[in-house]
Chains A and B, each alone.
Chain A
Amino acid sequence: MNWSAAEMVLMRIGLAALIYFFGVHWNLAPFTPDPSKLNGFARILPLTWMLDPSVMMVLRVLTVLGLGCFIAGIVPSISLLPVLLTVCGTGALRNSKGDITHSSQALAMALVAVWIAYIAAGILWKKWKKAPPAAHRAALLAAILIFSASYVASGIVKLKASKGEWISRVPSMAVQMVKANLSDYYSKPEGDINKTMTETAPVFLTEHPTLSKCLFGSGLVLELGAFVLLLSRRWAAIWGGALLAMHLAISWLMDIEFWGHIGLLAVLCVMPALIALMAKRSTEDSELTDDPLTGPS
């Protein structure tokens, strides 16, 4: 991927904003974790001290500073450490509570990949203080690599759990659709239950099993083929755009929002192609308006 330096700055700004707004659980309610139910990062480090609001305020400042340095490319291998601690710490604590939050998990994985890439780039090029463009490129590619691999993993898990019969079971997805919409209603019961999503649409899907297989089956194909996000700017935009549409459809049908995934697809896959398109158009426009004899108009 031949991103320009300016594009990579924009991608880092986007990634930093996503991590700050969707990657950290800033308002974790205090709780006492059960030592036998600790999850992931919380099994390696004791993290309950993070539940103190004053500690969280310090972490918030350090996270903002860390993300600022990451955008500017200043010692990212060190400046991303407090960001990693905050993202992985709050996420692992929340998972230990039983509240699995997959949206922030995608951002956390991308952050881990970025950090590892900066360490590797530092060792390789011996430039720690100011990361060179090649290090930024490696870091952003690493983020896309783990992100695309997570889609492939999701597809593999579907095939493994259903013993290869996932698509034939798809008509039952209508039940999950009712469940997701009712769960959302009972989380904050206001007004009436959305009957279109809990009655009309699920009944339509069960009455048209072939259509539902095509609809949800295409999602599985997109997941298993997600490695193409790494091939080129064009493939990233096409496949990323299709995955983005899939997430928006899930959000509409099931009322489940994966803002982390949506944001990563927009920032890492679709945005670079849009920038290139805009740059190409502006070059074409200037070529049309510039008179070669009199210079730029």
Chain B
Amino acid sequence: MNNQKKISNWLGWLIACFPVAIALVAIGDQFPFSPFPMYSNIDSSADVLFVTNRKDEPLAISSLFDVGSAQAKKRFEKELLAAADTRDYEKATKEQVNLAAQSFLQQLWKDRKVKKTDAQELDGLRAHVITISLDANSKFQRTEQLLGEIVFKQ
């Protein structure tokens, strides 16, 4: 292939590729389409949600509720958005966070994968969040907070 053909080949595919890329950005995350926005906005702090029993022992939520920690956090944020009009729990009141956490845990329990397992063993669920951040000196800071809990009637 001579150079002229090579250049036209490059330009041709570039012209074909970019409108599709722009269309994907415009459509957003609508299955099956996605512009894959993961890590597009790198914050200097991050939250990790986890669920425990009432003794604060972490539960294997992926096998119990068919959801990973990251997805669980997204579900909690959806509830928080409905309760407090924000996805940031630090911007919501303690009562709003508590309400969203309860709603999230109730939905999690309702949709649980194995209906009978652990129903007798668990007396309730708690949602916690760990916040990791970098301070001005690039040192890691870590805080942990209880978001809310639900108690099962025995």
Q: Do these two chains really belong together in a complex?
A: yes
Q: What residues of chain A have their CB less than 8 Å away from a CB belonging to chain B?
A: 27, 29-31, 37, 39-43, 87-88, 91-92, 94-95, 97-100, 102, 105-106, 108-109, 111-112, 145-146, 148-154, 156-158, 160-162, 166, 169-176, 178-180, 182-184, 186-190, 202-203, 206-207, 226-228, 230-232
Contact call A105/B21, Cβ cutoff below 8 A = no
Which of A91, A161, A188: most chain B Cβ within 10 A? A188
Select B32's contact among A88, A188, A203, A206, beta carbons within 8 Å: A88
Q: Which 8 A-B pairs have the closest CB atoms?
A: A108-B32, A40-B31, A149-B20, A186-B50, A40-B30, A179-B46, A153-B35, A227-B17
- On chain A, the residues within 8 Å of B66 by CB distance are 27, 29
CB distance from B81 to the nearest CB of A (A): 10
Q: What residues of chain B have their CB less than 8 Å away from a CB belonging to chain A?
A: 9-10, 13-14, 16-18, 20-22, 24-25, 29-51, 58-63, 65-71, 73-75, 78, 111-113, 130, 132-134, 138, 140
Select B61's contact among A37, A152, A156, A187, beta carbons within 8 Å: A187
Select A145's contact among B17, B69, B78, beta carbons within 8 Å: B17
- On chain A, the residues within 8 Å of B43 by CB distance are 172, 175-176
Contact call B30/A179, Cβ cutoff below 8 A = no
- 19 CB-based A-B contacts, threshold 8 Å: A37-B78, A39-B29, A39-B31, A41-B31, A100-B71, A105-B32, A150-B24, A150-B36, A153-B21, A153-B25, A154-B38, A156-B25, A162-B42, A176-B46, A179-B132, A182-B69, A183-B48, A206-B138, A231-B10
- Docked CA distance A171–B35 (Å): 23
- Docked CA distance A148–B19 (Å): 12
Q: Which chain A residue has the least Cβ–Cβ distance from B141?
A: A175
Contact call B48/A182, Cβ cutoff below 8 A = yes
Q: Which chain A residue has the least Cβ–Cβ distance from B1?
A: A232
Which of A43, A100, A169, A184: most chain B Cβ within 10 A? A100
Contact call A230/B16, Cβ cutoff below 8 A = yes
- Docked CA distance A29–B65 (Å): 9
Contact call A100/B36, Cβ cutoff below 8 A = no
- Docked CA distance A91–B40 (Å): 22
Known: A105-B32, A161-B37, A188-B62. A30 touches B14 (CB 8 A): no
Q: Which chain B residue has the least Cβ–Cβ distance from A37?
A: B78
A-B residue pair count with CB separations less than 8 angstroms: 200
* Chief secondary structure at chain B's binding surface: mixed
- Docked CA distance A43–B29 (Å): 13
Contact call A161/B60, Cβ cutoff below 8 A = no
Contact call B34/A102, Cβ cutoff below 8 A = yes
- On chain B, the residues within 8 Å of A99 by CB distance are 67-68, 71, 74-75
CB distance from A101 to the nearest CB of B (A): 9
Select A30's contact among B29, B45, B111, B138, beta carbons within 8 Å: B111
Q: Which chain A residue has the least Cβ–Cβ distance from B68?
A: A187
Select A188's contact among B42, B44, B60, beta carbons within 8 Å: B60
- Docked CA distance A88–B75 (Å): 21
Select A152's contact among B17, B30, B68, B78, beta carbons within 8 Å: B17
- Docked CA distance A95–B74 (Å): 11
Contact call B21/A156, Cβ cutoff below 8 A = yes
- Docked CA distance A171–B47 (Å): 17
Q: Which chain A residue has the least Cβ–Cβ distance from B16?
A: A145
